[in-house]
Amino acid sequence: MLAGLARPAPLALVVDDLHWSDDASLDCLLHLAPRLAAQPILLLLTYRADEVGPALARFLLALNRARLADELALRPLAPAEVDLMLRAIFGQPQPVSADFLHTLYALTEGNPFFIEEVLQSLVAAGGIFLRAGAWDRKPLDELRIPRSLDLAVQERLTRLDPGARQLAVLAAVAGRRFGFDLLEALTAMDEHSLLTHLKELARAQLIVEESADVYAFRHALTREAVYGTILRRERQAHHRAIAQTLEQLHAAALDPIAADLAQHYFHAGEWERVLAYAHQAGDRARAMHAPREAVDLYTRALQAAERLGQPPAAALCRARGQAHEILGEFDLARADYEQALALTQQAGDRRAEWQGLLDLGFAWMAQDLTRAGECFRRALAVAQAEGDPALIAHSLNRLGNWHTNLDQHQVARDFHAAALAHFTAQADRPGQAETLDLLGLTATMAGDTPAGVVYMPIFDPASGFKVSKGPQELWIDGKWLKQPVPEPVP
């Protein structure tokens, strides 16, 4: 039949979802495959690698041994590709919101099938809906596992023996990835029994072995489905036990696991520990250039402070604002900076108030130069009221740079010159270097390139700071040399 169909033109025979095939169908395909070599027929079979059962595994092995097939592994979609997929599905030209994309990607890991299933589930449940001609959604914490995926996982769980099932529950509470040492400490099982249960979970296509010490659920959705079988009170107890066990296992170095501790204590309702660990982990994430994770952790710390009945810490609000600013989320960053500023004003902390005004000014620079200037002028007023020469000088530099952005170069030079006088009087060489750098920038933007070159500070390898040895000395070949360059324009 197939040969007859292929006589007029080459034929492509596509069999989708091979992982759901029965034994008879696989036998038929195995009988067919070697007989296609002489025919203009392409047999294209698709399957999900994490759904390979014993029968399909034998079928694939037979094809491989006979060298009858070429295998093409499809990689998951990247976040930008998920964004394109969502825009195509919902027919919207603009990108989807960053928080929704981040949450959906973390849940589906770029698997197109999972993305479609999650979206269909959300639409059916009213989680995503059409309003005023545009797609809108409910809060992200209301995302639910699609029923089709949930039922598939539940069916696998029912086939497990009680010990393996309980181990799956503990692993789901532990997270997407979990260590052998953690499970061993939690269950008090001997190594042989624990390995037996882990093998059963692997055979059930629930987990995979990543290394001798680390295991993981095949997909984030699989873990979420198992997690959904646990009562809330049970979850609290498990999260508390896991957090305490992690503290014991990693007592010598808690900083790398601060984010995990914050998560477990959050679900356990231990708010004081959440506040400490989430703040610590947020700082670590920001230092490692992971601003999205930093935002999530700082938010968790602020939620913990609210649960404790404490006012939010200005430092936390400022840190989250900085992370939002890195992500380009101006409105969220501004709101955090304004809250941090209000808190410092209430506390009467003038130095922190000065810093908060600078933060707001920097944020406004890309949005509204007029508002940025207002913030910088207020910061200068605070610095002058404090009488701190360093704060005054930094404020003058900020106003000078603001005037540079307005192409008011002479006014900018006056501000920078005043700042330089303050730094020079205090023998503050880094401050001098910063100011000379800004003077050079201003001169260059004004078209006075020779003066701009002269002003630019040089990095001094001996001190580790950007410094200037005077307008006519440059660091060349390991020593300071006088250069025949013109004096800067006054």
User: What whole-number distance in Å separates Cα of residue 424 and Cα of residue 430?
Assistant: 10
Hey, CA dihedral for 63, 68, 74, 75, is it positive or negative? Answer: positive
Residue 482 pLDDT greater than 80, yes or no: no
Confidence of residue 95 (pLDDT cuts 50, 70, 90): confident
Confidence of residue 89 (pLDDT cuts 50, 70, 90): confident
Please state the domain extents for the chain: 2-65, 79-142, 147-230, 392-490
Q: Which of 22-36, 245-259, 268-282 is predicted least confidently?
A: 22-36
Beta-bridged to residue 48, according to DSSP, are none
| Rg from Cα positions in the chain | 31
- How many other C-beta atoms can be found within 10 angstroms of the C-beta atom of residue 368? 11
User: What whole-number distance in Å separates Cα of residue 105 and Cα of residue 128?
Assistant: 16
The phi and psi torsions of 12 (rounded to 5 degrees) equal -115, 125
Two structure tokens written together for 12: 């492509």
C-alpha distances (whole Å) from 226 to each of 130, 165, 172, 175, 206 are 31, 9, 6, 11, 9
Contact between residue 467 and residue 429 where contact means Cβ atoms under 8 Å apart: yes
User: What whole-number distance in Å separates Cα of residue 75 and Cα of residue 71?
Assistant: 13
pLDDT, tens digit, 9 for 90 and up, residues 269-313 = 999 999 999 999 999 999 999 999 999 999 999 999 999 999 999
Amino acid at residue number 465: F
Task: State the pLDDT at residue 395.
Answer: 95
Contact between residue 371 and residue 412 where contact means Cβ atoms under 8 Å apart: no
Q: Is the pTM of this model over 0.75?
A: no
Task: State the pLDDT at residue 159.
Answer: 85
Two structure tokens written together for 90: 């919902």
Confidence of residue 472 (pLDDT cuts 50, 70, 90): very low
SS3 165: helix
Percentage of residues in the chain with pLDDT exceeding 90? Answer: 58
Mean pLDDT score across all residues of the chain? 86
Which CATH architecture is the domain 392-490 placed in? Alpha Horseshoe (1.25)
CATH assignment of 147-230, given 2.30.30.230, 3.40.50.970, 1.10.10.10, 3.65.10.10?
Answer: 1.10.10.10
Residue 103 pLDDT greater than 70, yes or no: yes
Residue 483 pLDDT greater than 50, yes or no: no
Contact between residue 81 and residue 110 where contact means Cβ atoms under 8 Å apart: yes
CA 320 to chain centre: 13
Task: State the pLDDT at residue 461.
Answer: 54
**Closest CA relative to residue 206, chosen from 233, 193, 191, 224:** 224
Contact between residue 302 and residue 316 where contact means Cβ atoms under 8 Å apart: yes
User: What whole-number distance in Å separates Cα of residue 337 and Cα of residue 335?
Assistant: 6
Residue 480 pLDDT greater than 50, yes or no: no
**Closest CA relative to residue 361, chosen from 386, 345, 379, 344:** 379
Q: Would strands 41-45 and 11-15 be described as parallel, antiparallel, or unpaired?
A: parallel
